[in-house]
Amino acid sequence: VEEIIGGIKMGLSKEVYQALEAIVGPENISDDPAICQAYARGGYGTFVYDKGHYTPACVILPGNTKEVQEVVKVANRYRIPYIPFSTYYLAFCAPARPNVIMMDLKRMNKLISIDEKNMYAVVEPYVTHSQLQKEAFKRGMYHQSLGCGGQASVLANTIYSGLGPLGYRVGFNGTRRLLGVEWVLPDGELLKLGSPSILREYFWGEGPGPDLRGIIRGLLGHCGGLGVITKIAVKLFSWVPPSEAPLEPTGVTPKAALKLPTNRIKWYNVHYSNMKDMIEGMYEISKAEIGAMVHTVPPAWLYIPRTESGTDFWEKWSKDKEKFREEGFYFLRVLLVGFTSEKQLEYEERVLKEIASETGATRIREGRPFDRSWIIGSDSLTVYRIAGAELSPKFVFDSIDDAAKLLKGIAELRDKQVPPFYDIVDAGWIHSNDLGHMAYGEFLLYFDSEDADEAEEFETTCIKHDLKMKSYSACQNPGRHRMLGPKMGNYHLLLEKIKKAFDPNNVSNPPKPVDRV
C-alpha cells in the first residue's frame, strides 16, 4: 500500500510487492503495518543508534541463497533499499531510509555440517551461538561463545565484533575465526571466498588472490551495507570429551546454568586490594599459559544476577556502593579447564595459587561449580534490569595496562555526569585475549531512554578523550567514521570508495558502512 507521509511516498508499489512475493511465496512476505512496525527498532543501542529510523515497507523471509539473490536483484532493479539481518540484536538493523525491505534470515537456520576431523562448522545466518556450542560440546569441541548472549547469530557475530572471554585462548571470532564464506554481493551476484571458491569444502578462508574477508568483518563489520552473507565456516577447538566431563544444564531461565564437572573445570575467584596487583596477576597467568578465561568483574555485576528487579537492584546497590567507591573492587575470575586430563587441572590450580600469592592477592577461592554466563552464552539481557538503556561508549583493544588506564579515565568523566547517567561507580571490565597479548576493555553506561542524546554526546566525549590520550579510539557507532577517519589515515574515504564500488545503487542497508548523513 502506498501513501504519502511527510512528503515522502511510503510503501511499495503493487508491482514490486508482487515481484518479491513471487520469489518467496505469500506466506513469507508481509506489509502488514503492525508487523512492519515490529521490525522498525530493537537491539543494542536502541534510542541512540536507531535515531530517526523509519518503519520498513515490507518484511521478507527468503529460505535459501537463491531466494536471497533474487530479492537483492529485485531491490536493485527498482532501487529499493534492503536490510539483511540475523537475530536483530543490534539497532543497526533499523531502517535509516524510508521504504526499506527488511530481509529476515530466520528461515536460513541450518547448522549445515560439523567437520570433526578438521574442526570447523558451516552455518547459515540464523544458527545461534548456543546451538553451535551445544553441538560442538557433544563432539568434544568448542567455539568462542560471545559476551552478548548465546541467542545471537554465529554468522552475524563473526562478521561483526565477535568478542567474548573464551577468546583468552583462541582470539576474537571476527578477526580469527572466519573460514570459507558464501556472499551475495549488493547487486545479487554470488561470490565465494576461500576454499569454497574452488572446492565444495569450507575449511579455508584466505584467497585465492587477495583476501576479501577484511571487507566483510571487523569490530563493526559492514552492518549489512555490503550485501548478504549466506553461509560461513568457523573454526572449532578441542574441549574436554563429554564422556569424561559432561556439562549438565540446571535451573530454569533466567537462572539457568551449566553444572561444571569439577574434576575437569573450575572457576576461581581471586581478590586483590588494588588495580596494579590485579593487572600483574593477569599478566602472570597469561605468561604461565594457564586458564581458559581471565576477566575482571565490576562490582555491579555481583548484584545484577542476584536481584529480582530494577527496584531490588537499586535498593541493594545503593546501600553498598559507597564501600566500593572508597575501597575499590579488584576481582578477577579465572576459568581453569583440564583440557587434556585431570592432572592438567590440578597443575593449573597449583600454578594459579602460586601466582595469586606472588602477586599479592588478598584472597583466592574456588567459585561455585556453575556457569551462568560465558561458556554457552551469557545472560547479558539482565543489564537492562538496571536502567532503561545501556550503551558501551568506550572499547579498548590494547594491552591490559592500557585498558585499565583508559577505562578509569572514562569513569571519572562519567561521574561528572551523574545524573542523568546512573551511578554504577565501576569502570567497566577487562578480559584478557590471545593469552594476554591483547586485552578487551569495555565501559558500560546506564541511562534512561529519554537521556539518549546525553549518552550519544558522552560517546563523543569518550572519543575525544581517546584522541587526547593518543590511544586507538574504538566505538560501536558506525556513524563515527568521519570523526575518526581524519585522525586515522583517512580510512573513512576508503570506506566510502568501497561502498560505491560494491553497491553502486546504494541499496544495501544504506548508508552503511559509511556514516549517516
Contacts with ligand FAD, residue ranges (CB under 6 A): 43-44, 83-90, 92-93, 105, 125, 146-148, 152-153, 155-157, 160-164, 223-224, 228-229, 380, 383, 509
Distances (CA, A) of 250 to 80, 240, 253, 370: 47, 19, 9, 9
SS3 letters across 438-478: EEEEEEEEEECHHHHHHHHHHHHHHHHHHHHCCCCCECCCC
Identify which of residues 173 and 286 has a Cβ nearer to ligand FAD in the complex.
Answer: 173
Closer of 264 and 431 to ligand FAD (Cβ): 431
Is the omega angle on the peptide bond into residue 511 within 30 degrees of 0, that is, cis? yes
CB of 89 to ligand FAD, least distance (A): 3
Closest residue to ligand FAD, judged by C-beta, is 147
Q: How far is the CB of 68 from ligand FAD (least distance, A)?
A: 9
The least CB distance from residue 91 to ligand FAD, in Å, is: 8
Residue 209 burial (10 A CB sphere; 0-12, 13-18, 19+) = exposed
Q: How far is the CB of 205 from ligand FAD (least distance, A)?
A: 16
Task: Give φ, ψ of 259 to 5 degrees.
Answer: -85, 125
CA nearest 488: which of 477, 474, 507?
474
To the nearest whole angstrom, how small is the minimum distance from the Cβ of residue 113 to ligand FAD? 18
For residue 279, how many C-alpha atoms fall within 13 Å in the half-sphere facing its CB? 16
If the CB atoms of residues 43 and 338 are measured against ligand FAD, the closer one turns out to be: 43
Closer CB to ligand FAD, residue 86 or residue 286?
Answer: 86
Taking the complex as a whole, how short is the minimal distance between the CB of residue 302 and ligand FAD, in angstroms? 18
Decide: 128 and 87 in contact? Cβ < 8 Å.
Answer: yes
The radius of gyration of the chain's CA atoms, rounded to the nearest angstrom, is 23
Q: Which residues pair with 181 in a beta bridge?
A: 193, 232
Q: Which is nearer to ligand FAD, 92 or 447 (CB)?
A: 92
Min CB(230)–ligand FAD separation in Å:
7
* CB-nearer residue toward ligand FAD: 68 or 258: 68
Strand order in the sheet with 438-447: 363-366, 265-272, 330-337, 293-296, 429-433, 438-447, 389-398
For the stretch 18-45, what's the b/e string if a residue is b when 16 or more beta carbons lie within 10 angstroms of its beta carbon? ebbbebbeeebbbbeeeebeebbbbbbb
Residue type present at position 446:
Y
Nearest distance, CB of residue 244 and ligand FAD, angstroms: 29
Identify which of residues 99 and 509 has a Cβ nearer to ligand FAD in the complex.
509
Rounded distance between C-alpha atoms, residue 494 and residue 82, angstroms: 23
Closer to ligand FAD by CB, 223 or 462: give it. Answer: 223
